[in-house]
Amino acid sequence: MANSCTTFNPLIVTFGEMLIDFVPDVAGVSLAESPGFLKAPGGAPANVACAIRKLGGNSAFVGKFGDDEFGQMLVDVLKKHGVNTDGICFDSYARTALAFVTLKNNGEREFTFYRNPSADMLLKESDLKMSLIKQAKIFHYGSISLISEPSRSAHMAAMKAAKEAGVFLSYDPNVRLPLWPSPDVAREAILTIWNYADFIKVSDDEVAFLTQGDPQREDVVLTLWHDNLKLLVVTDGEKGCRYFTKHLKGKVNGFSVKAVDTTGAGDAFVGALLIRMAKHINIFHDEEKLREALLFANACGAICVTKKGAIPALPTTSEAVELVKRAKGVSSFKYFIKTCMLFSFFPVLVLILAFLLYKAK
């Protein structure tokens, strides 16, 4: 039975792929040189669904798995996290997707995918449980399902059904170029559905790819704005994020942590932000609430990079709140020290001015 969409805990439905990430147990080596791998469930839309549940929200996942041990394992992971799985189906002929992740010493990663074709690519419109999608407060998706048919048509049908039902649309393109025929094809396909979304989250690297411009320039970022958009967020890693609405814009600082694996950080960020959006529909007009939500989302993303794997590294609300409190405490202490230094210097400044005035006489 589908989870009910209550006023206090609205349903957020995520759509797309879920797969197994094989993460090397040693960073800074090639896949061939890695002595072993940790098996970690992943896939951006599924990560977001689990992030929402771990933070106390209400989520469902819509997607297709191979009817194999990996597929069954992934569905069990979703169920253990409390994600509604009514929108899931299985394919008897295609396998569940796999990805091998190369970890650099700074925690950044590269992907090698095994999905030719995988079950998620074979999701059809007839597989969709439209009633689940239409009862959502927010429908969240990426761009991987746009790569090939029939999943592309299923994606378009789900998105349009949600839009017609008055559901808020959330889009994180989550660019993975190795999966696309070419960068140009990827860019064109990702932008074809751009104007449907109410909320879009992109990384600074994705801004550079989509615009072919400098992602730090505001005029470049704003080429991605469209009139139907309510919020555009650009994530800048540990530096934090930038936000743009019709009437507001600004920057929210991030958190400095030791990065082990950046996989899933953006998904933790999105999950945290979607919960706040679902509960506070006017957040786009309230800058204080928006900044508070983005700071919390930054904290969730930061915590996620301190562990290996995406879903295993997703934070709880208490962990994120604690990081925010610690950061505010450090910031207040630094401000206190600077203030003390300023006031300790003030008498010296007075003496210097007095001396100069005396000399002038």
- What is the set of active-site residues? 267
Show the tokens assigned to 49: 């669904």
Instruction: Report the length, in residues, of the chain.
Output: 361
Which segments of the chain does DSSP mark as H helices, in order?
A: 44-54, 69-80, 130-134, 151-164, 183-192, 204-211, 218-221, 265-279, 287-304, 317-360
Q: Are 87 and 60 in contact (CB under 8 A)?
A: yes
Q: How far apart are CA 137 and CA 60, in angstroms?
A: 11
Residue written as token pair 């194999």: 68
Show the tokens assigned to 196: 């449907």
3-state secondary structure (DSSP) of residue 152: helix
Sequence-distant (6+) residues with CB within 8 A of 258 are: 306
The kind and range of the H/E element at 244 are strand 240-244
Q: How far apart are CA 220 and CA 226, in angstroms?
A: 13
